[in-house]
Amino acid sequence: MTTSGPIAILAGAGQLPIQLVDHLKQKGQDYRVLAFRGFAAPELRLRADATVGLLDLKTIMATLDTWQPSAVALVGAVQRPGFSALLGAYSLLRNMQEVKDVISRGDDQVLRGAVMLIEERGHRVVGVQDLAPELIAPPTLRGRLEPNAEDRAAIVFGLSLLESLSDFDIGQAAVVAKRHVLAIEGPEGTDRMLRRVRGLRRSMFGFGRRKEGGVLIKAAKKGQDLRVDMPAVGPRSVVEAARAGLSGIAIGAGSTLVLNEEETLRTADRLGLFFTAVELP
């Protein structure tokens, strides 16, 4: 490991890797991009220095050894591969029983396993918050609209729900209307959860006549490794939240990424949703 080498971006899906690369470029920082095939956006792949399969750990490690990066960041979504595929990939490098234990422990643990492997090779793993703290929601972040008393009660209830779920390695997000939980996010992600709420309301509650209310609450799990798995929201989540009839979005300050902050807030204002960061207890 050198301290003068480039920053290595291991890039998965979504807008975040693109925004991070833009950010580093703007600041004149030296970086290299290793894009995950099948995940990284086309726009990013065009700007990548190399492309690799998610499970091709040999090539990933060899590339990092060549680049001698000062820091490594795993950025952007990758879908959890099947157990057997993960098992095969990890077993190249580690004791089989340990690999099985890591994999069976949930998503977080799989990512932590990847971080562990990279660190063992002598690299320093950092998060987006280290490279571009401007992308993290400050406690003061909010749109034009404010949550009302009912929304605030839903936020408190939802944060408490997410905290209870922390031990189970699930639940970065939930939708709560008053004190009624409409959905808890599973591995499907926030946007698909919001579409579920939309369908639920349409089929169960005769939704469509008016805004039903409810809040999307999103915050990091207790003990979550924010270097590799920080919750994120962006304009698309705002649109999906509006379609689900929600009245607004609350995100954990200091531990949630906002993709394209300006557009996110503008979209919330335009669609009549409040958008607010909240300080976690």
Contacts to a second copy from residues 183-202, by CB under 8 A: 183-184, 186-188, 196, 200
Measure CA of the first residue to CA of the last residue in the chain; give whole Å: 37
Q: Does the protein bind a second copy through residue 36 (CB under 8 A)? A: no
Candidates 161, 239, 271, 280; binder of a second copy (CB under 8 A) is 161
- Binding segment for a second copy (CB under 8 A), chosen from 126-134, 167-175, 223-231, 234-242, is 167-175
Q: Does the protein bind a second copy through residue 179 (CB under 8 A)? A: yes
- Binding segment for a second copy (CB under 8 A), chosen from 10-18, 44-52, 127-135, 166-174, is 166-174
Q: Does the protein bind a second copy through residue 223 (CB under 8 A)? A: no
Supply the minimum distance, in Å, between the C-beta of residue 175 and a second copy. Answer: 8
Single out the residue of 165, 209, 193 nearest to residue 249, CA to CA: 193
If binding means CB under 8 A, how many residues of this protein chain bind a second copy? Answer: 40
Supply the minimum distance, in Å, between the C-beta of residue 206 and a second copy. Answer: 5
Nearer to a second copy, 8 or 89 (CB): 89
Single out the residue of 281, 260, 273 nearest to residue 20, CA to CA: 260
Contacts to a second copy from residues 69-98, by CB under 8 A: 79-83, 85
Supply the minimum distance, in Å, between the C-beta of residue 180 and a second copy. Answer: 5
Nearer to a second copy, 23 or 195 (CB): 195
Nearer to a second copy, 35 or 182 (CB): 182
Residues in the chain, overall count: 281
Residues near a second copy (CB under 8 A) are 79-83, 85, 103-107, 150, 157, 160-161, 164-165, 167-171, 178-184, 186-188, 196, 200, 203-207, 212
